[in-house]
Amino acid sequence: GIMGYGWMGHGWMGRRHSTNSNILSLKPKKSPLPIPKLLDPIIENGIKKFHLNIQESHHTFFENINTKTYGIESTYLGPTLLLRQGESVEIEYKNNLPEATTMHGHGMHVPAIMDGGVHQVINPNQCWSAKYTVNQPASTCWYHPHLMGKTAEQVYMGLAGMIIVEDEESKNLNIPQTYGVDDIPVVLQDKKFDSSGQIDYSPTRMEIKRGYKANTFLVNGAIEPYFNAKTGWLRLRVLNGANARVFTISFGLFKSFYQIATDNSFLEQPIKLNSLTLSPGERAEIVVYVDRDLVLQDRNTSKSLLYIFKDESIGLVDSLPTQLTNLERLNIHDAKRVRRFVLNMRRGHMAINSKIMNKNRIDERVPVNDVEIWEIINPMHMVHNFHIHATHFEIIERNGSARNVLPSERGFKDTIYMPPRSTAKVLVKMKDYVDEVHPYMYHCHILEHEDDGMMGQFTVVSNS
Ligand code: C2O
Ligand code: CU
Ligand code: CU
């Protein structure tokens, strides 16, 4: 039973009340870490097809309470899609919600009409398919709605899932890769519940500015769950799936771990860390050696996220490679131009370059295959970040110097954390998919900011 795994020894019983001090009457369900199922595709004419129902549902966050949620093939969140570089896929979403939605592949390098951004609306009872050839290296990506003005609420209700891209190289690396056993998805979120245990998404104007944050933390939709791990290396694919909260994950001051991947690629070598900060939308793959029970914590709040209990069996992977990959980096000297994105406000709303998102306006036209420097400026006293669709960029400078780029950021990225009053430069190259009509988006991934207008659009245009 549960006592055998040392709940008391971890102080778990004591912690759960402080975690949910706003809802003392609600008892979090003691649950094992939910592992989203790997969705079974069907193969038809060489195409790997997935079908996903987006639906209203009920989920058990608290003992004896049914909480109204949204889910994808599930009561909360969605299944994991496993894709392989080079294969043709068709991901069909059926919208069974009473409202419109979209489904965007965050981190996926796909044509603009397959991006699932604000223009690929799926009305109630309609289907929409993302059809493409997987055209990117191994990475941990995710899917979530992107409907204008409604992204924050729909993600908050439970719409998000993981996409794992694998390739020849990742399959051949001696790293943990048995899904659900030593390679686990870790979707971090925080959520506000009302006194009856229902999800409460009702940001005030001030909470839109600050980002909607709450003090109940979820991993894969469970409150402080536990995971039984074998002795040995455990790989966590960590996604900050929160609307606005920045997490700094850690196993405590004296336990180090290794980061092996950023948003869109492996790091060249594993980076030894004690803590790692992830802003909303960012991913990191980390490996930690389980030789005793561990607690994954958020260092910003000192709260527990996930309990890892060592079981007696021996793990599958016992040593790590020193070299993970060789990255084909862009050259700063090839940069053709600089584009500047200032995260600011306009008439009381969140904006970029003093413009509020307008889905009928193309803000930037980016010639295909040109290397560009995108300079991102956060002049405000608040946290932002910056996400670019379709591309995988390299961070080359923070606050005016290359030396401020952290070792753990030196892989390909699609989302960059922008602390208050900071600047960054990233190298960008739009590699394929010229389409002069249909745009992609860039935006702050604090979802309240995105919905409020801190978003813009670009097309990838031919280069002549
Ligand atoms: Cu994760 Cu444009 O979004
Ligand atoms: Cu995206
Ligand atoms: Cu922001």
Predicted confidence (pLDDT) per residue in 149-174, tens digit: 999 999 999 999 999 999 999 999 99
Q: Is the CB–ligand 1 distance for residue 389 below 6 Å?
A: yes
For residue 102, count other CB atoms closer than 10 A to its CB: 23
In a domain, 320, yes or no: no
Q: Find the 292 Cα to ligand 2 centroid distance in Å.
A: 37
> Would you state the pLDDT for residue 317?
80
Are 293 and 216 found together in one domain?
yes
Are 141 and 221 found together in one domain?
no
- Listed as ranges, residues in the chain with pLDDT below 70 are 1-25
> Would you state the pLDDT for residue 24?
52
Are 372 and 262 found together in one domain?
no
> Would you state the pLDDT for residue 30?
78
Ligand lying nearest the CA atom of residue 151: 1
Q: Is the CB–ligand 1 distance for residue 283 below 6 Å?
A: no
In a domain, 174, yes or no: no
Q: How many domains does the chain have?
A: 3
Contact 445, 281 (CB under 8 A): yes
> Would you state the pLDDT for residue 26?
81
Structural domain ending residue among the three candidates 287, 314, 341: 314
Q: Token pair of 238, please?
A: 């960590």
**Stretch (H or E) spanning 64:** none
Spell out which residues have Cβ within 5 A of ligand 2, the ion.
Answer: 106, 389
Are 35 and 156 found together in one domain?
yes
Are 198 and 119 found together in one domain?
no
Are 192 and 132 found together in one domain?
no
Are 19 and 159 found together in one domain?
yes
The residue whose C-alpha atom lies closest to atom 1 belonging to ligand 1 is: 106
Number of the ligand 1 atom closest to the C-alpha atom of 142 = 1
In 3-state terms the chain splits into helix, strand, coil percentages (rounded to 5) of 10, 45, 45
3-state secondary structure of 143: strand
For the entire predicted model, the pTM comes to: 0.94
Its domain, for residue 128, covers 3-166
Q: Is the CB–ligand 1 distance for residue 449 below 6 Å?
A: no
Are 109 and 156 found together in one domain?
yes
Q: Is the CB–ligand 1 distance for residue 387 below 6 Å?
A: yes
CATH number at residue 199: 2.60.40.420
Q: Find the 142 Cα to ligand 1 centroid distance in Å.
A: 9
Sheet containing strand 415-418, strands side by side: 364-367, 455-461, 435-443, 384-388, 415-418
Q: Token pair of 301, please?
A: 């709040």
Are 236 and 130 found together in one domain?
no
> Would you state the pLDDT for residue 29?
75
In a domain, 253, yes or no: yes
Burial of 7 (0-12, 13-18, 19+ CB in 10 A): middle
The ipTM estimated for the assembled molecules is 0.99
Q: Find the 145 Cα to ligand 1 centroid distance in Å.
A: 8
Are 60 and 189 found together in one domain?
no
Residues 348-402: pLDDT tens digits? 999 999 999 999 999 999 999 999 999 999 999 999 999 999 999 999 999 999 9
Q: Find the 382 Cα to ligand 3 centroid distance in Å.
A: 8
Q: Find the 389 Cα to ligand 2 centroid distance in Å.
A: 5
Q: Token pair of 194, please?
A: 């009302």
